Amino acid sequence: MELTLNQKLSLIQKEFKANKSKFNSFGKYNFRSAEDILEALKPYNEKYKVNFTITESMVESQFLQFPMLRSIASINDDLDTITASAIVGVDLEQKGMQMPQKFGSASSYAKKYALGNLLLIDDTQDADASNKHDKTETVKQVNGEASKSWLNKNTPDFKRAVEFIEKGGKISAIEERYKISKEVRDELLK
């Protein structure tokens, strides 16, 4: 009996391992890149008669304050296709990078997270997933209670906050969860 694409993907998700071959010297941790994931997937193409692809596009919206990239990771066989996507912002204010590097960095993250979504890669133990690159505070215990972290622009949490507000959510609900600067608050209320 021929396996369905859902069955093939489920088996790949169980078997799949990708090494963390890259090292971040600033944060002192190893991480996996989209290239690591794609390289580790190659044996499954033949084993399960599937193909993996990634497509990218710009997200168009008059409400966006910065460019956004969408990456769609797909697995397909002769009969079916399954996709997962990720959207990331391009930090145009990133210092020390030329414009192609800014877009390339965002593209790499989008590919990595789209593949992670497709393959159910849990990056919670990946330091790259928790590294805030000095942009947010870590959650600290103060008098036995967790203090709130800062909500920053150009982050996935900020994007979710914008979507929440657009769907009728209240800024007060966001403020219960995050510390918000006046600049970020003003952006959310635009």
The token pair that represents 128 in the structure block:
């790259």
pTM above 0.85, yes or no: no
Residue 96 phi, psi dihedral angles, 5° rounding: 85, 10
Give SS3 for 15. Answer: helix
Tokens 């193409």 correspond to what residue? Answer: 45
The C-alpha atoms of residue 73 and residue 100 are separated, in whole angstroms, by 22
pLDDT confidence of residue 19:
77
- Domain locations in the chain as residue ranges: 1-122, 132-190
- pLDDT tens over the chain, length 190 residues: 899 999 999 999 999 988 787 777 777 777 888 899 999 999 999 999 999 999 999 998 777 788 999 999 999 999 999 999 999 998 888 888 899 999 998 999 999 999 999 999 875 444 444 444 443 333 333 343 445 778 888 888 888 888 877 877 788 778 777 788 888 888 888 7
Question: 1-122, which class in CATH?
Answer: alpha beta
pLDDT confidence of residue 31:
81
The C-alpha atoms of residue 109 and residue 92 are separated, in whole angstroms, by 15
Spell out where 59-173 has E strands.
Answer: 68-76, 81-89, 141-142, 145-146, 149-150
